[in-house]
Amino acid sequence: MRYATQAQTESLYIHWPFCPYKCHFCPFVALAGQDAHMPEYHKALISELTRFAAAQEHQMPLKTIYIGGGTPSTWPDQLLLDMFDTLRNTFDISLISEITLEVNPGTVRPEQIAVWQQAGISRISIGVQSLNDQVLQNLNRMQSASQVRQLLKQLAGNFNSISVDIIVGLPGVSEQEWKDFIAELVTWPIMHVSMYFLSVHEGTPLYFRVARKQITLPPDEGIVDLYYWSVEALKNGGFMQYEVSSFAKPGFESQHNQMYWSRKPFKGIGIGAWSFDGKARIQNEKIIEKYIKAQQEGLDAVCSGEELTQEAVRLEQLMLGLRCMRGAVISEVMDGLSQEKQEEFIHRLTALEEKKIISVQEKRIFLAPTSLALENEVARYLSVE
Ligand code: SF4
């Protein structure tokens, strides 16, 4: 399956998979101890990018670029600048509004700040997760609270759009400790917070350690209560919630993520990267050697692709509408349903409304503030396929 060249693509995701260690909870395509592949992988990225651009009829104007990983702050300076030269020579980035780089504490040299500024990076996303060194190190994440604070000091004044990722529900973090963490976080020079629940993905070391009872996860109810407490605390700290996991000071909402949530086309470059051309979701090869070889031979390195059925589109619209504060549009979600399914849908919608799990306003469905953590369950219940 190939990405449709006529897609109105305005966003790129570029995947840098190298990490200095592999966190036990990590579900991403991330490689520890494989830095020797960096130069060849970089060349392969350039090759995928330039072939993609060459297939377009016109020079493509980009609005957002997101460099994720992995740990993109391990991208060697000269190679990163070379990537940005290629981006500038290949695409029209004169009107770009957001270029994000993910960085991890403990991987940043002071001189990188100037390199990132020279490259044109406008937004930094830091993987903080927790300030409890022991808890993180027990999950093989080798960073410390002092590295987090040091990094914030380095970045403040150099980037005005800084985001942090945090995980609620890490085993070993007490309730009071989490509350103290949020109280400190709202004082940081940051504009955006992404707060995720800890997910135990099958096949990860965390999954096996939980199965062997070497790690006990905190109870779900306690975590959900802490999530709701944090939503309020972040709001009081000036961070408005605009998505189930996303909070921003006014004007600092992630434009790249909002593009995903609006189901706009984007091209993913690099191993394991997903693309969406408006009709199909396509994933690149996940094995680095195969990806590099395919790029050297000028071939597409796709490992899976699926054209979305009407049912799949409807479920995506429902899920995305619910998780964003704009709500799911009822006419979109009902489009194409048989009379019988429409009746079933309305029946379920009414039941959820009566239980105050959702509200319906101006022909859109919204999660009630006390149901934000139920987004998946509500979407699946309302999906009457
Ligand atoms: S730093 Fe991020 S990408 Fe790398 S192993 Fe940890 S969670 Fe995965």
In which band, very low, low, confident or very high, does the pLDDT at 373 lie, cut at 50, 70 and 90? Answer: confident
Q: Cα of 197 to ligand 1 centre, how many Å?
A: 15
The mean per-residue pLDDT over the stretch 249-269 comes to: 97
Tell me: pLDDT of 115 over 80: yes
The mean per-residue pLDDT over the stretch 335-362 comes to: 92
Tell me: pLDDT of 203 over 90: yes
Q: Cα of 69 to ligand 1 centre, how many Å?
A: 7
Q: Choose the residue to mutate in 71, 137, 201 for probing ligand 1, maximizing ligand atoms within 8 Å of C-beta.
A: 71
Query: Which pLDDT score is estimated for 287?
Result: 97
Query: Which pLDDT score is estimated for 4?
Result: 87
In which band, very low, low, confident or very high, does the pLDDT at 1 lie, cut at 50, 70 and 90? Answer: confident
Query: Which pLDDT score is estimated for 80?
Result: 98
Q: For the chain, list the domains and their CATH numbers.
A: 11-261 (3.20.20.70), 310-382 (1.10.10)
Tell me: pLDDT of 335 over 90: no
The answer to whether 230 and 180 have CB atoms below 8 angstroms apart is no
* CA separation for the pair 316, 61 (Å, rounded): 26
Strand ranges (DSSP E) for the chain?
Answer: 11-16, 18-19, 31-32, 64-69, 98-103, 123-129, 162-168, 192-197, 240-243, 246-248, 267-269, 274-276, 280-284, 302-307, 328-329, 358-361, 364-367
Tell me: pLDDT of 90 over 90: yes
Buried b (16+ CB within 10 A) or exposed e, 29-51: bbbbeeeebbebbbebbbbbbee
Q: Cα of 199 to ligand 1 centre, how many Å?
A: 14
* CA separation for the pair 50, 47 (Å, rounded): 5
DSSP-assigned states of every residue in 330-342: HHHHHTT--HHHH
Q: Cα of 103 to ligand 1 centre, how many Å?
A: 10
* CA separation for the pair 176, 169 (Å, rounded): 12
Query: Which pLDDT score is estimated for 385?
Result: 74
Q: Cα of 30 to ligand 1 centre, how many Å?
A: 6
The mean per-residue pLDDT over the stretch 345-362 comes to: 94
Tell me: pLDDT of 7 over 90: no
Q: Ligand 1 pocket, 127 CB below 6 A?
A: yes
Minimum CA distance residue for ligand 1 atom 8: 26
pLDDT digits (tens, 9 = 90+) for 123-153: 999 999 999 999 999 999 999 999 999 999 9
Query: Which pLDDT score is estimated for 197?
Result: 94
Percent of the chain predicted with pLDDT > 90: 89
Q: Ligand 1 pocket, 26 CB below 6 A?
A: yes
What pTM was computed for the model? Answer: 0.95
Q: What is the largest CA-CA distance in the chain?
A: 63
In which band, very low, low, confident or very high, does the pLDDT at 9 lie, cut at 50, 70 and 90? Answer: very high
Minimum CA distance residue for ligand 1 atom 6: 23
- Write the burial class of residue 312 (CB in 10 Å: 0-12 exposed, 13-18 middle, 19+ buried): middle
